[in-house]
Amino acid sequence: MRDDETILLDMLIAARKVQQFAVGLDAESFTQSELHQSAIVRELQIIGEAARQVSDTYKSNHPEIDWHRIAGLRNRLVHEYFRISLEIVWRTVEEDIGVLIERIEKLIPPDEDLS
């Protein structure tokens, strides 16, 4: 079983990839690029799956992260892929990923390799 900090590191790396993949995009260019959609949706799935793996105790101790919402987005992306709203995905990229990165960075010890 993987420890919570390792799982958080997975979330952080995936969130940073989302930001990297979104560089230079706006909502319109995102909706027109299947390549960017696929890349970003995949990383959001990783974030959500990792969030599901974090222990209940850790989640209880860190309510500043909306674990339930993150896992819910993952479930929708995986199980209801045919109903994905690109508008919601893009809003997540713009509004939530940066905040998530900031919150996770505070929880990971500084000596972890984040590459």
Residue from 79, 83, 91, 103 carrying the catalytic annotation: 79
Asked whether residue 113 carries a pLDDT value surpassing 80, the answer given is no
Residue ranges with strand state E in the chain? none
112 assigned to some structural domain: no
Confidence of residue 109 (pLDDT cuts 50, 70, 90): confident
According to the model, what pLDDT value does residue 2 have?
Answer: 82
| Length of the chain as a residue count | 115
Mean pLDDT to the nearest integer, 35-56: 97
More confident residue, 82 or 65: 65
Q: What is the pLDDT of residues 77-102, one digit of tens each?
A: 999 878 889 999 999 999 999 999 99
Residue from 74, 83, 91, 103 carrying the catalytic annotation: 74
According to the model, what pLDDT value does residue 48 have?
Answer: 96
114 assigned to some structural domain: no
74 assigned to some structural domain: yes
- Is 2 among the residues known to form the active site? no
* Tally of domains in the chain: 1
> Which range of residues forms the domain containing residue 22?
4-107
- Is 16 among the residues known to form the active site? no
CB neighbour class for 59 (10 Å; exposed up to 12, middle 13-18, buried from 19): middle
115 assigned to some structural domain: no
CA distances (Å), 25 to each of 35, 38, 64, in order? 12, 14, 28
